[in-house]
């Protein structure tokens, strides 16, 4: 039975609580599970200052690769104070809420690479603050590094 099968019953019977499932495992059964499964989607200390990391597994049915979110301990619930990247190409994951002013950005990249088991020199997408007003149109990883196609808008002084 799946949780989705229980939810319609919740509406018919009008339970005063949300249904949930408890799975009891012995220590022997628990030891057979990969540690990543137990930590899936939960925040954990990164080992780098007050930075925390959350890794989401890939979701092939939604065409989403694994991704890592990095935040300072005090901003774990503030989506706009976090940075996140996808494992497949190092692309920014949550483009609309990615904190472009996150500091220290290089440390966050290091944490994300480690969490996603990527090489230490794997390029992680970040637009330079020096580009003025720009829009990322496309990003592609190459053997020489990452290539960005940007549309830049500059205002002329009068």
Q: What are phi and psi of 105, to 5 degrees?
A: -60, -45
Most trustworthy range by pLDDT among 13-22, 31-40, 94-103: 94-103
Residue 158 in any domain: the answer is no
28 lies in some domain = yes
- 64, part of any domain: yes
CA 49/CA 72 separation, integer angstroms: 9
Beta bridge partners, 70, equal 53, 83
Average pLDDT along the chain? 74
As a whole number, mean pLDDT of residues 60-73 equals 89
> Edge-to-edge strands of the sheet including 83-86?
44-45, 51-56, 67-72, 83-86
Tokens describing residue 137: 């149109």
Q: Would 99 be classed as within a structural domain?
A: yes
**Would you state the pLDDT for residue 71?**
95
Statement: residue 85 has pLDDT above 80: yes
State how far the Cα of 107 lies from the Cα of 110, in Å rounded to an integer.
Answer: 5
Query: How does residue 11 score in pLDDT terms, banded at 50, 70 and 90?
Result: low
pLDDT range class, residue 131, cuts 50, 70, 90? very low
Q: Is residue 95 part of a domain?
A: yes
**In terms of residue numbers, what domain contains 72?**
3-153
**pLDDT bucket at 88, cuts 50 / 70 / 90:** confident
Look at residue 48 and tell me if it is in a domain.
Answer: yes
Q: How far apart are CA 100 and CA 78, in angstroms?
A: 14
* Average pLDDT for 72-87: 92
Q: What is the mean pLDDT of residues 31-39?
A: 62
Q: Is residue 9 part of a domain?
A: yes
Predicted local confidence at residue 8, as pLDDT? 56
- Average pLDDT of 135-139? 52
| Structural domain total, the chain | 1
């Amino acid at each position: 039975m799946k949780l989705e099968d229980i939810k319609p019953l919740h509406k018919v019977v009008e339970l005063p609580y949300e249904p949930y499932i408890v799975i009891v495992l012995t220590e022997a059964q628990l030891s057979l599970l990969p540690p990543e499964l137990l930590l899936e989607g939960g925040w954990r200390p990164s080992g780098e200052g007050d930075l925390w990391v959350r890794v989401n597994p890939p979701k092939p049915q939604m065409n989403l690769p694994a991704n890592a979110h990095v935040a300072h301990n005090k901003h774990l619930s503030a989506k706009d104070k976090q940075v996140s990247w996808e494992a497949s190409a190092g692309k920014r994951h949550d483009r609309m809420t990615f904190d472009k002013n996150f500091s220290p950005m290089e440390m966050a990249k290091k944490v994300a690479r480690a969490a996603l088991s990527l090489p230490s020199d794997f390029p992680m997408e970040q637009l330079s603050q020096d580009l003025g007003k720009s829009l990322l149109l496309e990003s592609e990883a190459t053997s020489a590094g990452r290539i960005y196609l940007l549309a830049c808008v500059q205002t002329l002084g009068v």
